[in-house]
């Protein structure tokens, strides 16, 4: 999930600022070692050398072992690998052909590179292409998508970021028979990304590059050519080969601090997509957590911090959902989910409608004189979501490139050479201080109010998209 920082009226707490400064001084040796530590680069190298870490794959299984070894080296207690079941999707081939009406000369057929989107079923569909712009519900409502193949961008220009699952679900609900997801960044990079939270989707879907998308929009109804240029929109044919079978993923768990009933959870997912190394998404995030863990083992924590590397996030937050179902959420003080930190220079804290989480982020930022932008708006597209639904306050730690999208993430280009491990080390230090302040005895962290949370999601215009993606909780009716 990628989001622009938004303002919040919550201020830094002066007592908390002083508390963070004292904590920073007490942890100075550990923080200093982190600045020169070679472990983050070793870890990101070991992880990305695996290649595909697709949920349920052998690569993800091997990655769980790499994470467990890193947790052991960090000094965490009770390190364990916890398996859980999932529907494992495996990619086959994908073909995209477009038949362009060519008047007296007859039709021309062009073939374009494409990749199936996870949980696309195997099958073949054909229909006219229709350009739905950015794929927002408003744009889809303005187009006639019935029986057609919807073509939508990976980005959203204004307002809140509209997720791929929302765009796909809304287009299919409106009658589209297929879906094409177009990267908005140059480089012949077709994007991937799951269509559902862990189950086979209702229609075939593929990702294509920005360059391919420019041609498809030229040929589509509602685009730069085709029906709006006085002719007929081109017919496309999409063929996908893929399988969905029973499989297994894993969470990797360890603990810093005492073994108390009340817990704080520090999370990051370690799985990635099968088309690249997953260095940025979320290799940097889990590297940040593994590095922060080394600091936290030297902190005087009043409550236990369960540090969990999540499996199967990319295909539907399945590891997080498994964790949420197996812990007592009433005993969880809060969740810090590191999804996106460590990639770019400055940290962003998404506080998911929790004023206390916003205050924690602002207090650590003020105490360290390190910029941490605060975004108060909640969203359901990362591992904090199963806990937020249950009323648990959460911080999601991210870092922005300034692009309204994933950048190299979810493409073939998400490779280790894009990583700057200085960001990992700095964000790990800030993450450790955020954990310490979240866990502090003096810090009051109220539960999220259900009705207020529902209103936050509705005010942010999430309801239509979440319903289309089958993500609106049943008990929110």
Please tell me the predicted confidence (pLDDT) of residue 8.
60
In this structure, are residues 303 and 259 in contact, taking their beta carbons and an 8 Å threshold?
no
- Which of helix, strand or coil describes residue 416? helix
Reply yes or no on whether the pLDDT at 3 is more than 70. Answer: no
Tokens of 477: 């009716």
Please tell me the predicted confidence (pLDDT) of residue 88.
98
- Give 395's pLDDT tier (boundaries 50, 70, 90): very high
In this structure, are residues 362 and 419 in contact, taking their beta carbons and an 8 Å threshold?
no
Give the model confidence (pLDDT) of 155-170 as tens digits: 998 889 999 999 999 9
Please tell me the predicted confidence (pLDDT) of residue 231.
57
Strand pairing of 394-399 and 332-338?
parallel
In this structure, are residues 231 and 200 in contact, taking their beta carbons and an 8 Å threshold?
no
- Average pLDDT of 373-399? 97
Reply yes or no on whether the pLDDT at 73 is more than 70. Answer: yes
Topology of the domain covering 90-245: Glucose Oxidase; domain 1 (3.50.30)
Reply yes or no on whether the pLDDT at 1 is more than 60. Answer: no
Give the model confidence (pLDDT) of 445-471 as tens digits: 999 999 999 999 999 999 999 999 999
- Which of helix, strand or coil describes residue 39? helix
In which residue are the tokens 């910029």 written? 371
**Where in the sequence of the chain do the CATH 3.40.630.10 domains occur?**
14-87+246-476
**Whole-prediction pTM value?**
0.95
Please tell me the predicted confidence (pLDDT) of residue 223.
57
- Give 172's pLDDT tier (boundaries 50, 70, 90): very high
What integer best gives the mean pLDDT of the chain?
94
Please tell me the predicted confidence (pLDDT) of residue 158.
83
Tokens of 53: 């870490």
Reply yes or no on whether the pLDDT at 126 is more than 80. Answer: yes
Alpha-carbon distance of 371 to 204, in angstroms, equals 42
**Where in the sequence of the chain do the CATH 3.50.30.30 domains occur?**
90-245
Length of the chain: 477
In this structure, are residues 81 and 252 in contact, taking their beta carbons and an 8 Å threshold?
yes
Please tell me the predicted confidence (pLDDT) of residue 403.
74
Please tell me the predicted confidence (pLDDT) of residue 15.
93
In this structure, are residues 386 and 352 in contact, taking their beta carbons and an 8 Å threshold?
no
Alpha-carbon distance of 285 to 396, in angstroms, equals 11
Alpha-carbon distance of 456 to 477, in angstroms, equals 15
Rg of the chain taking only CA atoms, in angstroms: 23
Q: What percent of the chain has pLDDT over 90?
A: 90
Give the model confidence (pLDDT) of 299-341 as tens digits: 999 999 999 999 999 999 999 999 999 999 999 999 999 999 9
Give the model confidence (pLDDT) of 51-70 as tens digits: 999 999 999 999 999 999 99
Q: For the domain with range 14-87+246-476, which CATH number is right: 3.40.605.10, 3.60.15.10, 3.90.45.10, 3.40.630.10?
A: 3.40.630.10
Alpha-carbon distance of 434 to 428, in angstroms, equals 10
What string of H, E and C letters represents the secondary structure of 95-108?
A: EEEEEECCHHHCCE
Please tell me the predicted confidence (pLDDT) of residue 178.
98
What 8-state DSSP symbol labels residue 305? Answer: E
């Amino acid at each position: 999930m990628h989001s622009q920082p938004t303002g919040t009226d919550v201020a830094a707490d002066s007592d908390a600022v002083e508390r963070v400064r004292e904590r920073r001084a007490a942890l100075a040796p550990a923080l200093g070692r982190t600045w020169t530590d070679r472990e983050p680069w070793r870890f990101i190298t070991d992880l990305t050398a695996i290649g595909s870490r697709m949920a349920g794959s052998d690569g993800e299984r091997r990655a769980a072992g790499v994470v467990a070894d890193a947790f052991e080296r960090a000094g965490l207690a009770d390190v364990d690998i916890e398996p859980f079941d999932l529907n494992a999707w495996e990619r086959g081939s994908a073909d995209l052909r477009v038949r362009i009406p060519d008047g007296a000369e007859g039709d021309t057929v062009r073939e374009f590179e494409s990749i199936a989107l996870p949980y696309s079923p195997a099958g073949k569909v054909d229909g006219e292409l229709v350009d739905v712009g950015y794929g927002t519900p408003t744009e889809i409502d303005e187009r006639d998508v019935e029986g057609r193949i919807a073509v939508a961008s990976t980005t959203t220009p204004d307002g809140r970021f509209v997720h791929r699952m929302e765009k796909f679900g809304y287009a299919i609900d409106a009658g589209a028979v297929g879906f094409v997801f177009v990267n908005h960044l140059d480089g012949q990079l077709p994007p991937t990304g799951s269509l559902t939270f862990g189950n086979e989707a209702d229609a075939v879907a593929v990702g294509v590059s920005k360059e391919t998308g420019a041609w498809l929009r030229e040929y589509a109804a509602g685009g730069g050519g085709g029906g709006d240029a006085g002719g007929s929109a081109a017919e496309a044919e999409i063929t996908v080969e893929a399988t969905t079978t029973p499989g297994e993923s894993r969470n990797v768990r360890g603990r810093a601090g005492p073994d108390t009933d009340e817990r704080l959870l520090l999370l990051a997912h370690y799985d990635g997509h099968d088309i690249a190394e997953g260095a940025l998404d979320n290799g940097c995030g889990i590297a940040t957590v593994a590095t922060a863990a080394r600091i936290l083992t030297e902190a005087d924590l009043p409550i236990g911090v369960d540090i969990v590397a999540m499996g199967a996030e990319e295909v539907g937050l399945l590891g997080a959902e498994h964790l949420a179902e197996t812990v007592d959420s009433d005993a969880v003080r809060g969740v810090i989910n590191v999804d996106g930190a460590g990639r770019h220079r400055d940290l962003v804290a998404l506080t998911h409608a929790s004023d206390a989480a916003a205050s924690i982020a602002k207090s650590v930022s003020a105490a360290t004189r390190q910029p941490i932008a605060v975004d108060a708006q909640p969203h359901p597209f990362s591992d904090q979501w199963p806990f937020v639904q249950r009323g648990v306050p959460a911080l999601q730690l991210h870092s922005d490139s300034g692009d309204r999208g994933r950048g190299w993430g979810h493409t073939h280009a998400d490779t280790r050479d894009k990583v700057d491990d200085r960001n990992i080390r700095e964000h790990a230090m800030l993450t450790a201080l955020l954990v310490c302040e979240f866990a502090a005895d003096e810090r009051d962290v109220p539960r999220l109010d259900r009705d207020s949370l529902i209103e936050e999601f509705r005010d942010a215009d999430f309801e239509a998209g979440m319903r289309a993606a089958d993500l609106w909780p049943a008990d929110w009716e």
